[in-house]
A = this chain, B = another copy of it.
């Protein structure tokens, strides 16, 4: 059989399994998570052995240290994986609730019920723990899942896939509810992305290249997360201490995350803050680039910021700073250069804050808080399958609810339409 046929067979099996999952009561879905946790705990040695094969092959293939680190599992990471399964099991059931019930003039009662999506495809890169973490979220929400990890993690993922299957079967659920694609061919992804008949959602997790490829090719709806070019705007009526603290935290708490600030916008009336702020950034090793106005206000900035800077997600200790007249110019800059991820205003003026919250068209808009808060756990979602920069279906951090949909239910007593 060809890869395309193999993948279609897996997808059909997943669709059948999705029906069983959707019917399974929450106790059974949670039991599956516990049984998967037990399977991981009982097979740590085998997991680490498979992972060792991946790491050795990766080292031989010349993967850099950062990639090898993401690829590697150890006892501590397996402990974290098991704890993650416990946490997901503890979350309340995201499906089945009925909402907005109302009786219509015709006499029928109409409401909506939260239900699973069906079959979810997860396409990710090197970290093998995603195999279990993403599967757990999908299963909790009553969905079947097809997992396609990076080729460099194939041994680890195949082993973890076996454990997912055994945990499901031990709970009386079909093994096909969580399947790892067992081959590394690139063709497999292309085949998966065409199967809109069986697959309801694809979630690509990884670098921009992966996400752009998936978005371009997919016939299945994609929950995607592209750049995080996040802004903090220090308004003319900002509290200086809050502004300094938020800017520093938003840039320096972690450099490689999508909710890290990349550009700082400062109202002209507040440029007096810049020397102290730039010094604080430089003290922790951040390179600061500025527009002419910023360089005038803080001569310690020795690098010009260009249009390319305003459009770049550095993911590194680099910050671009631009002076704007006021909130309108800040919002115009964000609309032009931002990526609709997360922006924050620092101001004591409630009216200006309200305008910013309403008018900035990003998945998270903040007032007097660090952009670093844009995160499923910080938002109380309990878990996160990703952060969506799309506007449809799910926007911003996506938890279990993003893996469900709502259908209409109608109750009558023999009602017919006149």
Interface residues of A, Cβ cutoff 8 Å to B: 19, 22-23, 96, 102, 104, 106, 108, 110, 113, 115, 117-118, 200-201, 215-216, 219, 221, 239, 241-242, 245-246, 248-250, 253, 335, 344, 357-359, 361-370, 372-374, 378-380, 390-393, 395-397, 405-417
Q: Could you list 22 examples of A-B contacts with CB < 8 Å?
A: A19-B359, A23-B358, A104-B378, A104-B379, A106-B373, A108-B373, A113-B357, A113-B358, A200-B392, A201-B391, A221-B390, A245-B416, A249-B416, A357-B409, A364-B407, A366-B411, A366-B412, A367-B410, A368-B415, A373-B415, A374-B410, A379-B408
Copies per complex?
2
Whether B417 contacts A373 by the Cβ 8 Å rule is: yes
Across the interface, A106 reaches (CB within 8 A) one of B22, B239, B378, B409, namely B378
Whether B358 contacts A96 by the Cβ 8 Å rule is: yes
Chain B residue with minimal CB distance to A404?
B391
Across the interface, A407 reaches (CB within 8 A) one of B367, B395, B415, namely B395
Q: Which residues from B are CB-within-8-Å of A412? A: 366-370, 373
Q: Which residues from B are CB-within-8-Å of A416? A: 245-246, 248-250, 253, 369-370, 372
Q: Which residues from B are CB-within-8-Å of A358? A: 23, 96, 113, 115
Docked complex Cα distance between A216 and B196 (Å): 11
Whether A22 contacts B359 by the Cβ 8 Å rule is: yes
Q: Which residues from B are CB-within-8-Å of A23? A: 358-359
Chain B residue with minimal CB distance to A19?
B335
Docked complex Cα distance between A363 and B112 (Å): 10
